Chain A
């Protein structure tokens, strides 16, 4: 069964356009709760009120304001806000093709698969061309009244468009030096590397499951049938003081069990 497309667009490489459909590649599997009034278990609803008088106000009547660093609220009229909206467009413009690590995955926000729309031949040419080059496309577009930047690349042979965080949202790590201190003890470093190596294997995402989500489902099911629950409390251990002996014991422990 195929998924429903979120949006239709045309990838634009200069003169050439490739019509595509966007599909969410990540899905929300979290368990969501409704907020209820304790007394009658009726769902609560949110309203906007003036805090002093408690007078409710319809969302359509509310205004929007920007809070400055000096803690002034600058009220913006609906017309002014309209004026700074991006212009609607179906075009996803490819700005550049860059070496893959120029924009590292810290910038990536959400992944979308691209599927063909009306022109399968152009889509196949897109997949083939992306596969031929070790570079990723930097794109910019407007979707549902919002500006986006994104990265176009292949994932397992299928085209994927990642939306990006904006530069203003990124904390630049470049200006930080490594935590200073005396040179690391080479014997300890060797032990630490040995321990990492002993515990190494290939990354296989199939081996991980969201156990918490499964337990939460079970809890809901138990409660639905009127069952009782037991409680577990988190705890914290103290930091290790004798680093070298802890590392050595760790290595020995794994060697024994191997």
Chain B
């Protein structure tokens, strides 16, 4: 349903970083954003949704597995290029009273959205990203 809503232009899906677990959360969020610099944001997102490896070397190896420029990726990760971005998302979420994860809001309002629907949108996002990449 969400897939159809997004495809038909009726809905937009967004992901906001929450950094509730300290450095590993920050590293994962930064790795996703650095992957986004090379057009693989949703691939990194999907990977970190299922992996338990939140090390720097693991992130660089993941970049290599996606055939990204690992030097550029490592530099992005080490310089914390997107730290302001991810911390800003976390701060705004906390200001909105969002403390637990995952939380889903529809037009800013809380609602019951199943994991299946979220997965559906995430798959669509990866697909569209791949088409545009």
Q: Do A and B come from one complex?
A: no
A-binding residues in B (CB < 8 A) = none
